[in-house]
Amino acid sequence: MQTNFTKAQLNEPKIARSNAVLRNCVHCGFCTATCPTYQILGDELDSPRGRIYLIKDMLENQRKPDAKVVKHVDRCLSCLACMTTCPSGVNYMHLVDHAREYIEDNYKRPIFDRIMRATLAQILPYDKRFRFAMKSARLVKPLAPLMPSKIRNMVDFAPKKIPVPSLNDKPQVFPAEGKCIKRVALMTGCAQKALDTDINDATIRLLRRHGCEVVVAQGAGCCGALTHHMGKSKQSHISAAKNINAWMSELNGDGLDAIVINTSGCGTTVKDYGNMFLGDPLENDAKTVGSLAKDITEIMIDLGLKVSSTSAIRVAYHAACSLQHGQQIKTHPKTLLQNAGFTVLEPKDSHLCCGSAGTYNLMQPEISKKLKTRKVETLEILKPDVISAGNIGCMVQIGSAIGVPVVHTVELLDWATGGPKPSKMA
């Protein structure tokens, strides 16, 4: 694609990066075949190719975003299926994130949208605030039918049961069982700590059992993904910088072989810290952290699974977009589940999004519900005993509409290697 940015514009690192992305696009349209929003809405502007044209025009002409551009950019899930299917290597993720930041800085949203986005940004990345908000939402659920649709959707999001905080999420060091093979930091995250404490607990048990000393670093927390994808770069960079400093302190102290992440949406962002901090004094440290970041399945493939018991239950594997498209990890989870003795099933159109996508199910509830319905239907056809996923957002999204237990892949691997049966399957 031909671009016409000025020399002065190209001196700005983010513009130069977006220019390179735009120039890789050859208008082929392969992305439209795998874009969930285009498939549902049928509007070219709700496809990656259409959004690329809108973003190019906005950035190139330093145009003030209008409601039309904002609507179509907001509707993007950032599922990144377009990046998997693109033959030209267009890094759409960097382009749309830049567009969101530009919109946040140059567009005044309607008052209700501003309040909603600010509320989400100040609650979801903080597990204590999020836990309090969910408890409060449960109290007002009887009034939900009287509320505006978006507020009602936020109230409905609150689960029936909120787990008590896990002591394992506090900063500490867990020794390896037996010989120590690796020293790793575990990113305990933010929303996941409030929604499902079983995931981190199972991850720690699994890693220790396989010879890892596990560090929960002092000062580490939210990865910044939620606010980053809302265009709130200042807030996301503050969160990310805390993680970078915390993990670099461990690396420069007793050392780290890896930073283990069990929420794939976070993993995609942490691995991209180097690009987030392009031109920043923290850029080199950010790149170092990004290179150390590993999904839990990458680590377990490397360590090798020590199976102590097997179960031939039918596991439907849901491939989170951030794992299969964002990190290009497609076979590791299925291989590990099969090695653990489970019968692994995969739904039709497994490359398509479930509609969770961070805060998308809260800010775009109508589209999200259509995607959720389609995903649930493809999973139900398989008649599984349990559904496995590698991202808490997907687990909550799918679990809200299906009568089958939804667990994290790591919970099943923990069970197969000597840990307890996942509580959701009891």
Per-residue pLDDT, averaged over 401-425, amounts to 96
Phi-psi region of 195 (alpha: psi -120 to 50; beta: other; left: phi over 0): alpha
- Say if residues 192 and 408 touch (Cβ distance below 8 Å): no
Listed as own residue / partner, the contacts of 16-19 with beta carbons closer than 8 Å and 24 or more positions apart are 17/94, 17/98, 17/275, 17/278, 18/55, 18/59, 18/94, 18/95, 18/98
Please report the pLDDT score of residue 367 as a whole number.
96
7-106 has which CATH code? 1.10.1060.10
**pLDDT digit string (tens) for 373-390?**
999 999 999 999 999 999
pLDDT bracket for residue 151 (50, 70, 90): confident
What 3-state DSSP class applies to 352? Answer: coil
Per-residue pLDDT, averaged over 67-80, amounts to 97
pLDDT bracket for residue 161 (50, 70, 90): confident
Please report the pLDDT score of residue 293 as a whole number.
98
Give the gyration radius of the chain's Cα atoms.
Answer: 21
Res 153 pLDDT > 90 = no
Residue range 307-425 in CATH 3.40.220.10? no
pLDDT bracket for residue 235 (50, 70, 90): very high
Taking the C-alpha atoms of residue 220 and residue 247, their distance in angstroms, rounded to an integer, is 7
Taking the C-alpha atoms of residue 350 and residue 353, their distance in angstroms, rounded to an integer, is 8
Please report the pLDDT score of residue 140 as a whole number.
82
- Say if residues 416 and 310 touch (Cβ distance below 8 Å): yes
**pLDDT digit string (tens) for 14-26?**
999 999 999 999 9
Name the H helices within 259-355.
Answer: 264-271, 273-276, 283-292, 296-303, 321, 332-339
**pLDDT digit string (tens) for 174-201?**
999 999 999 999 999 999 999 999 999 9
- Other CB atoms within a 10 A radius of the CB of residue 26 amount to 12
Give the domain 167-300 fold: Rossmann fold (3.40.50)
Q: State how far Cα 307 lies from the chain centre.
A: 28
Average pLDDT, the chain: 95
Please report the pLDDT score of residue 2 as a whole number.
94
Res 37 pLDDT > 80 = yes
Dihedral sign for Cα atoms in the order 237, 239, 242, 247: negative
Domain ranges of the chain: 7-106, 111-157, 167-300, 307-425
Common-topology check for domains 7-106 and 307-425: no
Taking the C-alpha atoms of residue 281 and residue 285, their distance in angstroms, rounded to an integer, is 9
Identity of the amino acid at 136 = S
- Say if residues 102 and 59 touch (Cβ distance below 8 Å): yes
The DSSP code sequence of 399-416 is HTT-SS-EEEHHHHHHHH
**pLDDT digit string (tens) for 305-354?**
999 988 889 999 999 999 999 999 999 999 999 999 999 999 998 999 99
Please report the pLDDT score of residue 145 as a whole number.
76
Please report the pLDDT score of residue 139 as a whole number.
81
Please report the pLDDT score of residue 180 as a whole number.
97
**Which residues contact residue 272 at a Cβ distance below 8 angstroms, ignoring those fewer than 6 apart?**
93, 290
Res 94 pLDDT > 90 = yes
Please report the pLDDT score of residue 311 as a whole number.
84
Please report the pLDDT score of residue 246 as a whole number.
98
- Which two three-digit tokens encode residue 250? 């461990």
320 HSE (CA, 13 A, CB side): 34
Please report the pLDDT score of residue 183 as a whole number.
98
**pLDDT digit string (tens) for 251-288?**
999 999 999 999 999 999 999 999 999 989 999 999 99
Taking the C-alpha atoms of residue 23 and residue 21, their distance in angstroms, rounded to an integer, is 5
**Which residues contact residue 20 at a Cβ distance below 8 angstroms, ignoring those fewer than 6 apart?**
none
Taking the C-alpha atoms of residue 247 and residue 286, their distance in angstroms, rounded to an integer, is 10
Per-residue pLDDT, averaged over 141-166, amounts to 79
Taking the C-alpha atoms of residue 45 and residue 41, their distance in angstroms, rounded to an integer, is 10
What b-and-e string marks burial along 334-371, b requiring 16 or more CB atoms within 10 Å of the CB? bebbebbebebbebeeebbbbbbbbbbbbbbbebbbbb
Question: To 5 degrees, how large is the angle CA 226–CA 227–CA 231?
Answer: 125
Per-residue pLDDT, averaged over 208-220, amounts to 98
- Which two three-digit tokens encode residue 41? 């809405």
Please report the pLDDT score of residue 97 as a whole number.
97
